[in-house]
Amino acid sequence: MGRRKGGIGSALVMCAVLVGVSACGGGGSDKAGGDDAKAPGKPGASASPSPKKPAGPPMLLETITPQTGTTVGVAMPISVVFTNPVAAKARATVEKHMKVSASQPVAGAWHWFGDKRADWRPKAYWPSGTKVKIDADMKDVANGNGRYGVRNYTHTFTIGDDVRADVSVTGHTMKVSRNGRATRTLSINAGSAQYPTWNGTMAVIDKQEKVHMTSCSVGISCDKGSPNYYDLTLPWDVHLTQSGTYVHYSTGDPTPGGGSARGSHGCVHLSMSDAKWFYGQVKQGDPITISGSSRAKASPDNGYADFNLGWDEWLAGSASGEGTTATL
């Protein structure tokens, strides 16, 4: 099953569609937060003249993820989305004004996906228990295209337990671990030869107890007589790519494992009981690594698949290079 392309993703849809819900989870809860700059008090007669504000329309941030106050997984990047393009010549300055602090030193870097999205990820996974703060002081910072920032945005979050899942497409298994200890091995089915599952590591985007999925909305089939047609509401959905990959239960594949079905349209199928259990284990940012598929790795900006880039590849998209977090 899958959903349509949009939001933070950019790859071809191969799973089912989430109807009526926005690409980033809906609502405004993940909008960039922070206090508006306070206007200065009225100066006295001897006060110096106020500095002239930069001309031009404002540079604003559309979203900062993770949301402030959340607990996320060890593979979660900090993802900043701008409302307008940031020119290449301005990116080093913009990066320097997006300060990342942590309760223990972590090496990492920014990387630009196009001209509106910049992600900061650690070189290796975050240490569990780390407290993190992103302070994007954009006031008077230029985007290189005639816009200037007008405010500061601050988000704080915590890295939770190190929960990971490793999916073997050919072995029909998912091995789940927590803080380095194996917890359970689950039986799975993945994509068919026609609709293979993405390989690579994808951090969980979000999860929902029910998702409405249709084949027509993702361009698979609108013909109700086609074997590839579906219009279903399915439970226990863990969202892996913006193009529509989920780990979930499917009514068309109720007892997955060992090739018991012809395969999904790109998702990873679990039994009802396993899907409910897995749903309760994972959170945003937990890494799900899939191997053994005939398909390439998911694009790193197809959701939060940032760790599908090697470190040298990651640095190639950074304007200021590797750095270490400030002390929180």
| Per-residue confidence band for 22, with pLDDT thresholds at 50, 70 and 90 | very low
Report DSSP letters for 240-267, one per residue.
--TTS-EEEE-TT-SS-STT-SS-BSS-
Cβ atoms 287, 315 nearer than 8 A: no
pLDDT at 101: 98
pLDDT tens for 197-236 read 999 999 999 999 999 988 887 778 898 999 888 898 999 9
**Two structure tokens written together for 62:** 């559309």
Res 11 pLDDT > 50: no
| Per-residue confidence band for 43, with pLDDT thresholds at 50, 70 and 90 | very low
pLDDT at 41: 37
In the block, residue with structure tokens 């194996």:
182
pTM: 0.85
pLDDT tens for 241-267 read 999 999 999 998 999 997 676 688 899
The CA-to-CA distance between both ends of the chain, in Å, stands at: 42
Cβ atoms 113, 25 nearer than 8 A: no
Mean pLDDT taken over the chain: 86
Res 4 pLDDT > 50: no
pLDDT tens for 293-308 read 999 999 999 999 999 9
CA distance 304 to 58: 28
Cβ atoms 188, 270 nearer than 8 A: yes
Burial (CB count <10 Å: 0-12, 13-18, 19+), residue 101 = middle
| Per-residue confidence band for 19, with pLDDT thresholds at 50, 70 and 90 | very low
